[in-house]
């Protein structure tokens, strides 16, 4: 794509998109150009339609992949090429309502025990203990840990800041980690990335290796720890609006999905069958 790629990258940076989103959008724009062996500037609505149909029918791409490709091409034609008419026809994809995968407390403990490297054990522990995304955990700075107020300051998606909880057990673990490793450069988890922090790709590999070693057979990704954090808080009776704030969700609807995966809440709910013939059953008429 050459010059067009550079223009799109500049537009993404101006728009404040995260480095990971920039990488994904540029990747799919490049695939689009490579499929037709032509610049996207010379392609139009019919080509976008043919490319998406190719991904759906021939490649059997997942819904998530199709969503990312659509977003990439929408940005390319709306912003960089300033030709929104080429993608105005794109239908809004139907959402699949799937409950998030959640680990039990026993599975979380087994997973953490299976991580041998202190740095990555701490990264994965923080993800579960504070409900962090993998990118948020890998880019934590020492100054983000506020031991006096018992909170962790997070710079999340879209540069939005929030605070999440810092438990006594997590704080103790972080202090032990600090004494053992003495991280330098300001990053809590230094690594080999260009900025000097731990690479999320490496943390992801460590997570999957530990999940296999722990005997976890569920289809899991590191994000399952964030799901588990939220669900376990709701299991413990935490108000859903508090969980929303800890996760940094803009909408309560995004958080309410975890009320549907709370086994404890489901188990505490009485079936109307159990109420028949009892004083409490009088409300049934």
Please give the positions annotated as active site: 133, 157, 223, 226, 249, 258
CB 125 within 8 A of CB 113: no
Output DSSP code: residue 250. Answer: S
- CB within 8 A of 5, min separation 6: which ones? 26, 29, 30
Could you tell me the end-to-end alpha-carbon distance of the chain, in angstroms, rounded to an integer?
A: 70
Tokens representing 133 are: 């995304």
Residue position matching structure tokens 């049934």: 284
Whole-number Å distance between alpha carbons of 220 and 260: 18
Residues facing residue 58 across a β-bridge: none
Q: Which of 135, 84, 104 is nearest to 248 (CA)?
A: 135
CB 72 within 8 A of CB 92: no
């Amino acid at each position: 794509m050459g010059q067009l790629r550079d223009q799109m990258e500049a537009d993404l940076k101006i728009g404040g998109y995260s480095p990971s989103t920039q990488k994904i959008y540029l990747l799919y724009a490049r695939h689009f150009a490579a499929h037709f062996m032509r610049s996207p500037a010379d392609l139009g609505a019919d080509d976008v339609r043919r490319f998406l149909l190719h991904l759906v029918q021939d490649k059997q791409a997942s819904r998530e992949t199709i969503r990312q490709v659509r977003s990439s091409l929408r940005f390319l034609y709306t912003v960089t090429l300033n030709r929104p008419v080429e993608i105005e026809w794109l239908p809004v994809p139907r959402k699949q309502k799937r409950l998030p995968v959640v680990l039990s407390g026993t599975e979380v403990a087994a997973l953490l025990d299976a991580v041998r490297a202190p740095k990555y054990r701490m990264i994965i522990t923080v993800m579960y203990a504070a409900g962090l995304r993998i990118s948020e955990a890998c880019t934590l700075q020492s100054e983000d840990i506020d031991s006096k107020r018992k909170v962790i300051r997070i710079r999340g998606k879209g540069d939005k800041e929030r605070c999440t909880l810092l438990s006594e057990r997590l704080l103790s673990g972080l202090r032990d980690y600090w004494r053992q490793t003495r991280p330098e450069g300001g990053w809590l988890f230094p690594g080999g990335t260009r900025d000097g922090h731990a690479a999320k790709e490496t943390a992801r590999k460590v997570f999957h290796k530990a999940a296999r070693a722990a005997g976890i057979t569920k289809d899991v990704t590191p994000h399952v720890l964030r799901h588990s954090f939220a669900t376990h808080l709701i299991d413990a009776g935490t108000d859903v609006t508090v969980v929303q704030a800890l996760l940094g969700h803009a909408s309560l609807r995004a958080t309410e999905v975890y009320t549907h995966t709370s086994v404890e809440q489901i188990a505490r709910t009485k079936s109307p069958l159990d109420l028949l013939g009892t004083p409490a059953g009088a409300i049934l008429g």
